[in-house]
Amino acid sequence: MEKILALKTFWTIAFRDLIRNRRRTFTTLLAVALGMLVVMLMAGMLRGVMDSAMRDNINVVTGHLQLRAESYEAENMSLLGKDLVQDPQYLVTRIEVLPEVKSVAPVLWASTILSTPRESTGLKITGIDPDDVFHSPIRQGMVEGEYLNADDRGQILLSQRLAEDMEITVGQQVSLATGDANGGLDEGLFNVKGTFNTGFPGYDNSNVIMPLSQAQSFTRTGDRASSIIVILNDSADTAKVAAALATPGIHIYTWEDMNQFFIQSMQAGESFYYLIYIIVILVVAILIANTLLMSVFERTREMGILASLGMKQRQIMVMVLIEAAILALIGIFFGVLLGLGAVGYLAQVGFDMGEGTAGLVEGMAFSSKMYPAMASDQFLILSLLMFGIVVLVSVYPAWYASRMEPVEALHAF
């Protein structure tokens, strides 16, 4: 009971001392709140980028699973018969009956050079089944012209940005040159049937889209495909479906396999962000320690009186630490409110990075608009980290106050 009363007394004295200099206390609380706001915005942005980029890349580029020939290397986009899926329709029929599967999309990839009378650029041919839901982002992103039909011949789609940069209009004829399955070089003229904008510049600007049958004919690959992309209803079923689809001569890649570089990059980024979090929190903590130290200097005589009345060094130290805890708790409380409001607002309106920045991530579905996410676990960790570091840094002012000799303190003024 005595300990509880003593602790209550410490809280009362500490709170009284804080409101004694309201301006300094307010400034310190504002620093803590703004520090929390900054680290919460950073954590929310990182979580939002990680979640949305991974989700978008799965839905637009990689799928949850891909089935490829064991010898196929995606970087080379080989068109040799031994490197392609031999009977994609058989596998599609086998896969689409599984209840966990939402979409099955065979695709054919090939390197190409797109040329106009003015200029040329290197792109990737992506042969698709236009009716498959996996390619709905392209269909929904049509800006001008018409979407593809499965039986179209000599028709392609280009991204809006690429068409504008190369001054290509819908209906214009362009030249595509590519290596074929026989090791030769084929060139053909194609009409631009339409332009699209999926919102992912890195993906849009690196692909020329055509029907799968047209791509197979142009590259002389027969009815073969580079890969079969599978979208599941629930990513948790990835391992289960992959095991069920095990087939001799076919390698199955999961979304973790295909996004390994991105996952590792985000993990490294998260570690770097924590370094920044600690720097921001240390700045705030040092400000609080400075406030407490100034308060101790101003209350030297008061400390001497408390010591002469029998307050032990440990108790004086606890009292100063309680002041630090009060500053930290109140500042963190208002900082969390500000952080939640800011993250919630930006989660609705987004943060525009610009197409130029997003387009640097070539071949990935990386949006030009970023939306922070409510990273509740990170917010809790950061709040505890802020409180812990603030109290830890405040040990020195508390220790300094507790070491004052009563006689010297009483004669300080």
Report pLDDT digits (tens) over 134-143.
898 899 999 9
- How far apart are the C-alpha atoms of 208 and 210, rounded to whole Å? 7
Q: What is the Cβ-side half-sphere exposure of residue 252, based on CA atoms within 13 angstroms?
A: 17
The Cα-based distances of 352 to 43, 206, 355 in angstroms read 17, 21, 9
Highest mean pLDDT among 4-8, 334-338, 409-413: 334-338
Least confident of 34-38, 245-249, 322-326: 322-326
pLDDT exceeds 70 at position 243:
yes
What stretches of 197-285 adopt beta strand conformation (E)? Answer: 207-211, 227-232, 250-254
The mean pLDDT value of the chain amounts to 81
- Encode pLDDT of 219-241 as tens digits: 999 999 999 999 999 988 999 99
> Mean pLDDT over residues 383-400, rounded?
79
Least confident of 56-70, 201-215, 343-357: 343-357
- Domain map of the chain by residue range? 2-58+262-410, 71-248
Q: Which two tokens stand for residue 407?
A: 């006689």
- Of the two residues 202 and 101, the one the predictor is more confident about is 101
Q: In 3D, which of 315, 331, 400 has the Cα closest to residue 39?
A: 331
Specify the pLDDT at position 5: 45
Q: In 3D, which of 285, 331, 388, 286 has the Cα closest to residue 33?
A: 331
pLDDT exceeds 50 at position 267:
yes
pLDDT exceeds 50 at position 178:
yes
**What predicted TM-score, i.e. pTM, was given to this entire model?**
0.73
Would you put residue 160 in left (φ > 0), alpha (ψ -120 to 50) or beta? alpha
Other Cβ atoms less than 10 A from the Cβ of 312: the count is 11
- How far apart are the C-alpha atoms of 316 and 300, rounded to whole Å? 12
- Of the two residues 20 and 411, the one the predictor is more confident about is 20
- How far apart are the C-alpha atoms of 95 and 122, rounded to whole Å? 34
> How long is the chain?
413
> Mean pLDDT over residues 348-363, rounded?
58
Q: Which two tokens stand for residue 173?
A: 């004829």
Q: Which two tokens stand for residue 39?
A: 């680290």
Specify the pLDDT at position 296: 61
Specify the pLDDT at position 1: 47
Give the confidence band of 360 by pLDDT, cuts at 50, 70, 90: very low
- Helices (H), ranges, 222-259: 238-244, 255-258
> Is the separation of the CB atoms in 150 and 187 below 8 Å?
no
